[in-house]
Structure 1
């Protein structure tokens, strides 16, 4: 169930971004508030929160700084792409990154692999190629660059998360880990806000605060439940299933919320996504 909760929460993120464009929300301002809310939730949800000194001496602490920078940077890019390209293409570019942590799990953590899992990876990649349609509001070269940045940046981010969870994060420290990660993302975001304000961009509005708060709740839940899933199942199954599940769920939500049209090619690709999830998870979860 934790994996399902993570999938639903992540799919909500992509679709909330679409409302930013509709209601003229300042993306950076809302993202910064989102990380403040997610950080606060990470610290108050557990029954007790260890001291700053405890966290500072944990081997994962430095990586929360690096991940915080990656989170706020990629989140902005993801929001921009969701608005200017389309939700399904952006979701796919961000979620095909399962290749990185999955390969890490098999190569470095001795996780099992089999013919069905390999076949599932191939089907997943096919579905991703099929579902990408050129409906970008950007020049083609800019769209390709954004997609590549999302792919490689997301791959590095998920690999660091997986490695941290496998080696350093104790089960009771999951929320604490994200508390500091989101806090550093918030700090980097504030620096970006100050810089943009110097350049003449608007200050934080009530509208930005509202949508940032709305974004922060599923953002916290998506990452918390993802790491909890990694405690129960191998990463070589969790990341592919989570990412393909998000593609399916976010596309369905975009149809329900924004009346997005599903072409025959995209419908076939979504069918491939379902097949890929079944193949990859057959021995580990089903």
Structure 2
């Protein structure tokens, strides 16, 4: 249970940090790029972390999947930051964690690895997830986002969470596919490190592009901001793996519980720390998101709790 709580805390803190970037005028992309470098440095301290430095790692069948995942990671990370800053912490956490629907469908229809029989309640949960994103994203016309007071386009407020939903779902599905057909258990740390390394390289290339063609100046505060983000980012994956093992690798039970915790912690922090005002529709969307995750895996939840 401790690892589960630490996983929830570390993951939720990432969205909080993104919100604070806006308050302290941190260059988000620069800090995200530094964050992935920090993830690599932290990862090198763990057993097997230095294996990513060996050239033969690119001969592995999973290497290109790891690099593709690294690109998806940094893009999604930036969109989550943008959503937390411009739309809200609550909707950012809902959009990222309700994406469980996509890997569930991928496992059911493509990998065909699921052993349970899906009922109408499971499918109802998947449909409810989509409605939850819309309801949690709706903002009153007069509501302003961010410290700068710029109004959020109603269309952007819905599109951003949906793109996060799709990207996060594709990333999880890619992990499932790679783990099923290409990855050996002892290669997990190498896969994770190569993914982070790819994200770091993409982030540094973006910064280089911005500095040359957009005359963007690298801000010193991006370094401590990236460190503050990078440590919990790596630990969120580390504790996630430990917690999953504690639950006997029962992802169908663990992930909904973990994601429900992140959504609720994100909403609580949004209200308490950032004074976000949730409308009745937003609260309904939040409740629907939790209900959706519970319905998707209600069989596993009942089996493990009763």
Distance 1:48 1:215 in 2: 20
Distance 1:147 1:31 in 2: 19
Give 1:123 shift.
5.1
Q: After superposition, what is the alpha-carbon deviation per residue over 1:170-202, rounded to whole angstroms, capped at 9, x for unaligned?
A: 333323221111111000101000011111112
Q: Which residue of 1 aligns with 2:184?
A: 170
Relative to structure 1, the CA distance from residue 119 to residue 283 in structure 2 (aligned partners, 3 Å threshold; closer, same or farther) is farther
Distance 2:40 2:68 in 1: 16
Relative to structure 1, the CA distance from residue 126 to residue 245 in structure 2 (aligned partners, 3 Å threshold; closer, same or farther) is farther
* Correspondences of 1:50-89 after superposition (within 5 Å): 50=51, 52-53=54-55, 55-89=57-91
Alignment check: 8 A CA contact 1:93 1:150 kept: yes
Distance 1:14 1:269 in 2: 19
Q: What is the aligned counterpart of 1:202 among 217, 220, 226?
A: 217
Q: Which residue of 1 aligns with 2:148?
A: none
Q: TM-score, normalised by structure 1?
A: 0.86
* Correspondences of 1:14-163 after superposition (within 5 Å): 14-46=15-47, 49-50=50-51, 52-53=54-55, 55-107=57-109, 108=111, 109-115=113-119, 117-118=122-123, 120-121=125-126, 124-134=129-139, 135=143, 137-163=151-177
Q: After superposition, what is the alpha-carbon deviation per residue over 1:191-225, rounded to whole angstroms, capped at 9, x for unaligned?
A: 000011111112141x1111111111121122334
SS in structure 1 at match of 2:138: coil
Give 1:167 shift.
3.3
SS in structure 1 at match of 2:76: helix
Distance 2:199 2:41 in 1: 12
127-136 vs 254-263, which moves further: 127-136
1:252 aligns with 2:268: yes
Distance 2:24 2:122 in 1: 42
Give 1:105 shift.
2.7
Give 1:249 shift.
1.2
Q: CA RMSD in A?
A: 2.7
Q: TM-score, normalised by structure 2?
A: 0.81
Give 1:140 shift.
2.5
Distance 1:146 1:86 in 2: 11
Alignment check: 8 A CA contact 1:245 1:277 kept: no
Distance 1:48 1:140 in 2: 44
Give 1:263 shift.
4.0
SS in structure 2 at match of 1:258: coil
Give 1:118 shift.
4.5
Give 1:127 shift.
4.2
**How many residue pairs are counted as aligned between the two chains?**
285
Distance 2:304 2:188 in 1: 22
Q: Which residue of 2 aligns with 1:179?
A: 193
Q: Which residue of 2 aligns with 1:282?
A: 301
Q: What is the aligned counterpart of 2:259 among 243, 249, 252?
A: 243
Distance 1:118 1:268 in 2: 19
Give 1:266 shift.
3.9
